[in-house]
Amino acid sequence: MIANRIQHVQAPVIPIVGRWTSEHPGTISLGQGVVHYAPPSEVFQAVSEAAGQDHGLDRYGPVVGNERLIDLIQQKLIAENGIDPEADQSSVVCSAGSNMGFLNAILAIADIGDEIILLSPYYFNHHMAIEIAGCRAVVVATDDQNQPDLDAIGDAITPRTKAIVTVSPNNPTGAVYSQSDLAEINLMCAARGLYHLSDEAYEYFLHDGVRHYSPGSAVGASEHTISLYSLSKSYGMAGWRIGYSVVPNHLVEGIRKIQDTNLICPPIVCQVAAAAALEVGSDWCRERIAGLTAVRDATLGSLSELGDRCRFAVPRGAFYVLFQLQTDQSDMTLVESLIRRFSVAVLPGSAFGESKGCSLRLSYGALDPQSVREGVGRLRDGLAKLLT
């Protein structure tokens, strides 16, 4: 019989929506959070060259990643995030995606029954990881602009709290938290003996001139901050499964035990690919991301045509819009109806812990701009009929 703690973990919603989508050919998916562009050509060239030479692609490697990749990551962290792991008594750990980095961190810092604070709406895999680890997710609502409520976060801390999680730029809302709020949360963690888990997978996906801030860059933050990054989004490498984290040195031994058991080491071929991507550099990413702002604006314009039946806070980052609908229908009912009747797929807000009425999450990064516009048009027209 399946373990009780696993039974209580929510079922992943993307496979459910994916099955409905596959049953209706021609459906445009605005569901899964991926980008529409492929990785740099240098990634494939590097992998091809490595496969034709004796680069040890078929061997085990160091548990936390190869030296070349870690060196490149450290250079990036210093230049772009203001984090110098060696100077800050912290270490880089490469993993099979940022999700693994998050689970590694939870297993390393928390015992069964401990509490982890998530801000709602939350990234559902974070909630799932916390429960899989036998811990309890304490969900704290954000305000009507999807920004942190610092007083509510402070009130949620108990003797069993181990960490506060922030995701900025945010999945699922597209919100970008201010530097002052992130710094205050980080200081709160330091004062209360907690860890700050800062998920920064969407660090390059920014709109309207806002800037990204890494809480781990603050003086004294390295002792209690775990910073999580990914190549999946910005470099179009979701299937390569490479992410990395910056962790305090006192956690490295524990994380090595966890990762050695679950993974042994990040796949060598994927590390070769990641190193090639990082050598191309983030300007390559930003050139491709720049066009998403116009797609976002067109998306918001279409949703605005629904008037008072659709409300949203303008997203300043990532490539998502979470919008609330004026209806008594459940979000899953609407998702299924949109697929079966109007050939467009989105995700239900309830999967992200959104409990204020009916809400849906739209991803406008997964397709080329023309396909997104077509999909959003179907969504708008479908909702106009379903909400009457």
Domains of the chain: 4-30+291-386 (3.90.1150.10), 41-280 (3.40.640.10)
281: alpha, beta or left, given left = phi > 0 and alpha = psi -120 to 50?
left
Cis upstream peptide for 40 (omega within 30°): no
H or E element, residue 146: none
Per residue in 214-252, pLDDT tens?
999 999 999 999 999 999 999 999 999 999 999 999 999
N residues, the chain: 388
Quick one: CA dihedral 121, 122, 128, 134, positive or negative? negative
Classify burial at 18, counting beta carbons within 10 Å of its beta carbon; exposed 0-12, middle 13-18, buried 19 or more. Answer: middle
Q: How far apart are CA 186 and CA 155, in angstroms?
A: 15
Q: What pLDDT was estimated at residue 55? A: 67
Q: What pLDDT was estimated at residue 388? A: 75
Phi, psi values for residue 163, rounded to 5°: -160, 160
Order the strands of the 347-348 sheet from edge to edge: 310-312, 320-325, 358-363, 347-348
Q: How far apart are CA 121 and CA 119, in angstroms?
A: 6
Report the SS3 class of residue 29.
strand
The amino acid occupying position 78 is: I
What angle in degrees, to the nearest 10, is found between the helix axes of 98-109 and 124-132?
40
Q: How far apart are CA 96 and CA 138, in angstroms?
A: 26
Q: How far apart are CA 48 and CA 272, in angstroms?
A: 10
H or E element, residue 226: strand 225-230
Q: How far apart are CA 383 and CA 326, in angstroms?
A: 10
Q: What pLDDT was estimated at residue 293? A: 95
Paired sense of beta strands 344-345 and 28-29, if any: parallel
Per residue in 59-113, pLDDT tens?
999 999 999 999 999 999 999 999 999 999 999 999 999 999 999 999 999 999 9
Asked if residue 97 lies in contact with residue 232, where contact means CB atoms within 8 angstroms, the answer is yes
Q: Report the greatest alpha carbon distance in the chain.
A: 64
How far is residue 151 from each of residues 26, 105, 183, 188, 189, measured CA to CA in Å?
47, 25, 14, 11, 13
Low-confidence stretches of the chain (pLDDT beneath 70): 55
Q: How far apart are CA 319 and CA 266, in angstroms?
A: 27
Report the SS3 class of residue 102.
helix
Q: What pLDDT was estimated at residue 205? A: 98
- The dihedral over CA atoms of 92, 233, 30, 13, expressed in degrees to the nearest 10, equals -20
